[in-house]
Structure 1
Amino acid sequence: MQQNGLLTTSQSSVNWLKYILAGCVLLIDFYFVFLMYSQGEYLFAILTLIIVSSGVYIFTSNKVYSWRYVYPGIMGMVIFILFPLVATIAIAFTNYSGTNQLAFDRAVSVLTQQRYFSGEKYDFKLYPLENDEFILSLHSATTEQNFVSEKVKFTDNQVTLIEKDAPNNTPAPLKFVIQNRNSLQNMTALLPNGEELRMSSLRQFAQQQHTYKFDDINKTLINNRTGKTYKANEEIGFFQEIDDNGQWLAQKLEPGFTVSTGIKNFVRIFEDEGIQKPFIQIFIWTVVFSVLTVVFTVIIGMVLACIVQWEALKGKAIYRLLLILPYAVPAFISILVFKGLFNQSFGEINMILHHLFGLQPEWFNDPFLAKMMILIVNTWLGYPYMMILCMGLLKAIPQDLYEASAMDGASVIQNFTKITVPLLLKPLTPLMIASFAFNFNNFVLIQLLTNGRPDMIGTTTPAGYTDLLVSYTYRIAFEGSGSQDFGLAAAIATIIFLLVGGLALLNIKASKMKLD
C-alpha cells in the first residue's frame, strides 16, 4: 500500500510539472501572438496560436495520445502547404504591393515619425579631446552667438550647450565629421532656451520638427510645414490630399497601407486591356507550350526506347547511357549551355546555320523563334524521362502480339502504331498529365533562358512573349516599374492553383481508371 501511494504521489508530481510546463509554453505563445497581432500580422498570429495550442493539448492529454505520431507531419503540411496557399489567396483580395505593405497603424507611425529641419541653422565645429571625447561648438550667423558643450562622447544621445565662446584650439577636419556622421545624426543638442537641434548637414545643426500630425478622430494627417491635410482613403490604401470641401486631390503619401479590395484584382485581369491582352496571350502560350512539350517528349522518348530495346542493335548499353545523359546533368547547367549555343552573335548554332545556309536567326528577339528555342531546349531536357518510362513499359508488352502480327505480315511501322503506341499510352496517361502540370509552372526554364523576353509593348505590367503564367506572375510581383503589385500577382497565382489543382484531380481520376 505504501509503495502504491508513493507511485501515485510521483505520478501526480509529474503531471503537475507537465501542466506547469504547458502553461509556460502557452503564456509565451500568447505573448508572441499578441505581438504579431498588434503589428497587423494576423495570419501569422492565427497560425502560431493554432500550432502551439493544438500541440500543447495533444502532448498533454491522454485522450488524443495517438495523434502525437501524426502531429508533426500534419503541422508540416499546414505550415509549408496550407498556410502559403491561404496567405496567397488572402493577398489576392487586397491591394498589397510595394507601396502598400504596412497595416494602417504602422503606416501612420512611419509617416508621423518623418521630420524636417526648420528655423535657424547653426554652424558647428568639433574639437577632439583625449579618450574619444570632443567639444561641440555651435555658432549663430544671425545673432553672432556661440554655444559650447562640455566634454562629450559619440555615444551620448543628448548634449547640453551653454552660451560661451568656442575653444581656441584647432577644430577637427571635415573627414573626422564624416567618419562619425552616424553618431552625430543620433545626437540632440539642447540650447539654453530649450530648443532642440539635430544635425542637418555636414556643417550645420538645425531644429527638427515632425512633418505630420495625426488626427485619430478624422483619420487625417496635417502637414506642419505646408498646412495641407491628407485623409485616409480606404479604397486605395493611401493618405490622399483633400481640399477645404473634403474633395480628393491628386497628391498621395507613401507608404500606403493594406486594405481589402474584394475581387478587384481578378476583375482587373479581364477588364484592364493592358493586363487582359498579355494575360490571354500568355495563358494560350502556356497551354500550347505544355501540350507540345508533352507531345514531343513522349514521341521522341517512345521512339528512342523502341530503338534501344531493339534486339538486333549492337552497343545498346552505350546508346542508352548517352541518351540518358541529359537527364543526369542538372537542368540549370543544360539551360545555360543552350543559352550560349543559341547566342545570336557567336553561338555555335548560328555559326553552323550561317556557314550552311547563310542564316543567322535572332532567337532571343523574334517571338516565334524564341518560342521554338524554348520548345527545343525543354524537349531535350524532358525526353530522357519519357524514354526511361517507355523502356520499362515495353517489357510488359507480351511478345505474342508481335509474333501474331508478324504472321499476318504487319510491318515495323504497323507494329509500332497498332500495338506499341496504344499499349504504352494507356499507362503513360497519368504521367503525361503530371508532366503537363509540371511544364505549366516551368519557371526555371523561362527565367534562365529568356527571362520572358522579348517584351510585349503597351502592357500595364511587365510581360514577354515567352513568359509562362508563373514567370508572368513573378515579374508582376518583383519587376514592376511603378510598384510591385503582389495583390495582382496573388490573384493570377490563385488562378494557376485552380488550374493545376484541376489537373491534379484529373490525374487522380485517370490513375483510378488505369487501376480499374
Structure 2
Amino acid sequence: MSLAHIRRSDRRSPLSRVPGWFTLIFFALLAGYLIVLMYARGEYLFAMLTLVLSGLGLFIYGNRRAYSWRYIYPGLAGMALFVLFPLACTITIAFTNYSSLHQLTFERAQGVLLQQQFRADKAWDFALWPVDDKWRLTLTSPDNGDVLVSAPFAFTPSAPQTLTMTPQAAPTGNKAGLRVITQNRQALGQLAARLPDGTLLRMSSLRQFSGTRPLYQLGEDGKQLTNIQNGKVYSPDMSTGFYQSADADVLSPGFTVGIGWKNFLRVFQDAGIQKPFLSIFLWTVLFSLLTVLLTTAVGMVLACVVQWDQLKGKAVYRMLLILPYAVPAFISILIFKGLFNQSFGEINLLLGNLFGIKPAWFSDPLTAKTMLIIVNTWLGYPYMMILCMGLLKAIPDDLYEASAMDGASPIQNFFLITLPLLIKPLTPLMIASFAFNFNNFVLVQLLTNGGPDRIGTTTPAGHTDLLVSYTWRIAFEGGGGQDFGLAAAIATLIFLLVGVLAVINLKASRMKFD
C-alpha cells in the first residue's frame, strides 16, 4: 500500500469511520465481559492474559499510528495465546507440588474441609408421600415410633428449603418408592427438617434424616482446624501442602504451594527417577536420529527410483508409495499393532513358517524398540519422498549428462551428485523431523503404551517410552497420585533439550555446508 493511498484513506469523512468504531466498541465490551467473568470464577491468569491481548488489540486497531502492526498482531497474539502462555504455565507448575492430591488453593482446600460434617444426633426414618403435584415429608422416630409430618412442598434442586415438622398422623396412600428418592436426591439434599425442639435434620442416607454438625472448627488465627469429635488440632504445612496434626496425621484434600527446585532435583537425585529418565532420554535421541536417517534414506532412494526415466508406470508407483502418508497415522499404527501380534499376527506367522522364529515384539525391550522404528519409518518415508521428488526437479540434467560422458555409474551419480545437492536443502527439514519425533507421543501411546514396563522405578516408566510419553505417564498414571508438578518439570527439561539439540544441529549443518 502506497503512502499516498494511506494519506487519502486518512482524509475520509468521519461518518465512514463509524462502523469501525462500533466494531471496536463491541469487541471492547465483549472483552470486558469475558475478563470480569474469568476474574469472578477465579481464573486470574486467563483474565490477565485476555486483558493484555484485548488492550493491545484495541490500541493497535484504534490508533492510526500503529497501522503497520495490524498485519502482524494476529500472529503475535496467537503465539502468545497458544505457545508462550502454555509454556509459562508449564514452567510455573514445575515449581509447585501441583498433583491430584494438591489441586486446590489454600483457601478452597480450607473451605472444603470446613464443609465436612458428621452425624451428631439420632437418625430418623423418612418417607415421601405424594399430595397432588407436591410432596409431604414424614419422619419416624426409631425410639418410640413418633411421626412428624411437613406441609406440602415442591422439589427445588437449586435452592435450599427448611420444612417445619409437626406431630400428626402419617398421610394415607402409597408412599414414594426408592426410585423416586434416587431421582430427586439432589433436591432432597437441599432440604432441612426443623423438629419441634428446633433441631435441624438433613438427609444422611436414602432412608434416613439425621442431625449433622461441621466436623472441623476454624481457629482464631484463621488457619488452624480443630476436629470437634476428637479435639485433634491440624495446622497447614506450607512445605507439603497438607493440613497436618502433631502426630503426622494429614487431611485431604491438600493445597498447592511453591516448592522451588524440588521437582527438578528429584529428576537428578532420586535414583528411581534418575535412572529411567537418563535411559529414556538416550533412547529418545537414538529413536529420533534413526527415524530421521531411515525415513530420509528410504524416501530419497524411492524418489530417485520413481523419477527414473526408463521406469514404466511411474504414476502408479508414486500413488502407491504415497498412500501411507494419506492414511491417518492412528489407523496405520493400530493395523501394525495387529500385524505384530505375537500369537496371531501375520508377521510372526510369516517369520515362523520361513525361519522358525516368533519374536516377542511387545514383551522384549529390544524387539519392541525395533518395531517402533520400523513402524515410524513406514509412516515417515512418504513425506521425505515427496520433498526429494520436488528437489530432484531442481537438479540440472547437464550434471548427469556430463557424468554419463565420464562413464559414471548410477550409484556414483547418486553419491556424487544427487546426495550432496539434496542433503543441504533437506537439513532444516531433517532437524524439524528430529524435533517432531523427539515428541512422537501418538506412536508410542497407540503401539506399545511405553511397554514393556521397567522394574524398580519410582514413577511408571517403560522401555519404549519417549520423554513425552514418560511425562504423560507421570502426570496421569502415577500410582501415588498424579504428579503434575514433576511432569511439568520434565516437560520443561524436554523443551530445553530439544532447543539445545536444534541449535547444535543448525550450527553443525552451517559449519558443514557453508
Residue type of the alignment partner of 1:112: L
CA shift for structure 1 position 76: 1.7
CA shift for structure 1 position 286: 0.4
Identity of aligned residues (%): 59
Per mean C-alpha deviation after superposition, the further-off stretch among 231-240 and 20-29 is 20-29
Would the aligned equivalents of 1:147 and 1:161 in 2 still touch at CA under 8 Å? yes
Per mean C-alpha deviation after superposition, the further-off stretch among 460-469 and 219-228 is 219-228
- How far apart, CA to CA, are the structure 1 residues paired with 2:28 and 2:441? 46
Structure 1 alignment gaps of length 5 or more: 1-6, 243-248
Per mean C-alpha deviation after superposition, the further-off stretch among 135-144 and 103-112 is 135-144
CA shift for structure 1 position 29: 5.9
Cα distance change of structure 1 residues 55 and 199 upon mapping to structure 2, 3 Å threshold: same
Residue type of the alignment partner of 1:139: T
Q: How does 1:14-25 map to 2 (within 5 A)?
A: none
- How far apart, CA to CA, are the structure 2 residues paired with 1:32 and 1:468? 40
Per mean C-alpha deviation after superposition, the further-off stretch among 297-306 and 258-267 is 297-306
3-state DSSP of counterpart to 2:245: strand
Q: How does 1:111-510 map to 2 (within 5 A)?
A: 111-131=113-133, 133-142=134-143, 144-155=145-156, 157-167=161-171, 169=173, 171-215=175-219, 217=221, 219-242=223-246, 249-505=247-503
3-state DSSP of counterpart to 2:226: strand
Cα distance change of structure 1 residues 96 and 241 upon mapping to structure 2, 3 Å threshold: same
Q: How does 1:58-137 map to 2 (within 5 A)?
A: 58-131=60-133, 133-137=134-138
* TM-score normalised per structure 2: 0.89
Q: Which residue of 1 aligns with 2:7?
A: none
Would the aligned equivalents of 1:336 and 1:449 in 2 still touch at CA under 8 Å? yes
- How far apart, CA to CA, are the structure 1 residues paired with 2:316 and 2:39? 64
3-state DSSP of counterpart to 1:391: helix
Would the aligned equivalents of 1:33 and 1:48 in 2 still touch at CA under 8 Å? no
Would the aligned equivalents of 1:433 and 1:503 in 2 still touch at CA under 8 Å? no
Would the aligned equivalents of 2:242 and 2:253 in 1 still touch at CA under 8 Å? yes
Would the aligned equivalents of 1:111 and 1:212 in 2 still touch at CA under 8 Å? yes
Deviations 1:170-218 (A, max 9, x none): 5444444334333222211011221110111222110011122223616
Q: Provide the aligned length of Structure 1 versus Structure 2.
A: 500
- How far apart, CA to CA, are the structure 2 residues paired with 1:129 and 1:462? 58
- How far apart, CA to CA, are the structure 2 residues paired with 1:18 and 1:410? 68
Would the aligned equivalents of 1:18 and 1:60 in 2 still touch at CA under 8 Å? no
CA shift for structure 1 position 49: 2.2
CA shift for structure 1 position 396: 3.0
CA shift for structure 1 position 117: 1.7
CA shift for structure 1 position 509: 5.6
Deviations 1:75-95 (A, max 9, x none): 222111111111111111111
CA shift for structure 1 position 510: 7.2
- How far apart, CA to CA, are the structure 2 residues paired with 1:20 and 1:209? 52
- How far apart, CA to CA, are the structure 2 residues paired with 1:168 and 1:324? 78
Cα distance change of structure 1 residues 121 and 70 upon mapping to structure 2, 3 Å threshold: same
- How far apart, CA to CA, are the structure 2 residues paired with 1:483 and 1:423? 53
Structure 2 alignment gaps of length 5 or more: 1-11
CA shift for structure 1 position 283: 0.5
- How far apart, CA to CA, are the structure 2 residues paired with 1:311 and 1:57? 59
Would the aligned equivalents of 2:348 and 2:359 in 1 still touch at CA under 8 Å? yes
Cα distance change of structure 1 residues 10 and 251 upon mapping to structure 2, 3 Å threshold: same
Residue type of the alignment partner of 2:195: L
- How far apart, CA to CA, are the structure 2 residues paired with 1:176 and 1:402? 86
- How far apart, CA to CA, are the structure 1 residues paired with 2:25 and 2:146? 66
3-state DSSP of counterpart to 2:165: strand
CA shift for structure 1 position 338: 0.8
Cα distance change of structure 1 residues 48 and 225 upon mapping to structure 2, 3 Å threshold: farther
Cα distance change of structure 1 residues 270 and 16 upon mapping to structure 2, 3 Å threshold: closer
- How far apart, CA to CA, are the structure 2 residues paired with 1:125 and 1:33? 43
Residue type of the alignment partner of 1:276: Q
Would the aligned equivalents of 2:424 and 2:513 in 1 still touch at CA under 8 Å? no
Alignment counterpart, residue 44 of structure 1, candidates 43, 46, 59: 46
Would the aligned equivalents of 2:165 and 2:196 in 1 still touch at CA under 8 Å? yes
Would the aligned equivalents of 1:353 and 1:359 in 2 still touch at CA under 8 Å? yes
* TM-score normalised per structure 1: 0.88
Deviations 1:246-301 (A, max 9, x none): xxx33221211111111111111111111111111111110000001111112212
Per mean C-alpha deviation after superposition, the further-off stretch among 121-130 and 233-242 is 121-130
3-state DSSP of counterpart to 1:158: strand
- How far apart, CA to CA, are the structure 2 residues paired with 1:100 and 1:144? 47
3-state DSSP of counterpart to 2:250: strand
Would the aligned equivalents of 2:24 and 2:58 in 1 still touch at CA under 8 Å? no
Deviations 1:205-257 (A, max 9, x none): 10011122223616211112222211111111111122xxxxxx332212111
CA shift for structure 1 position 488: 0.9
3-state DSSP of counterpart to 1:121: strand
Per mean C-alpha deviation after superposition, the further-off stretch among 72-81 and 396-405 is 396-405
Per mean C-alpha deviation after superposition, the further-off stretch among 488-497 and 308-317 is 308-317
- How far apart, CA to CA, are the structure 2 residues paired with 1:434 and 1:91? 27
Would the aligned equivalents of 1:283 and 1:469 in 2 still touch at CA under 8 Å? yes
Q: Which residue of 1 aligns with 2:56?
A: 54
3-state DSSP of counterpart to 2:213: strand
Per mean C-alpha deviation after superposition, the further-off stretch among 8-17 and 435-444 is 8-17
CA shift for structure 1 position 144: 4.8
CA shift for structure 1 position 130: 1.6
Q: Which residue of 2 aligns with 1:245?
A: none
CA shift for structure 1 position 73: 2.8
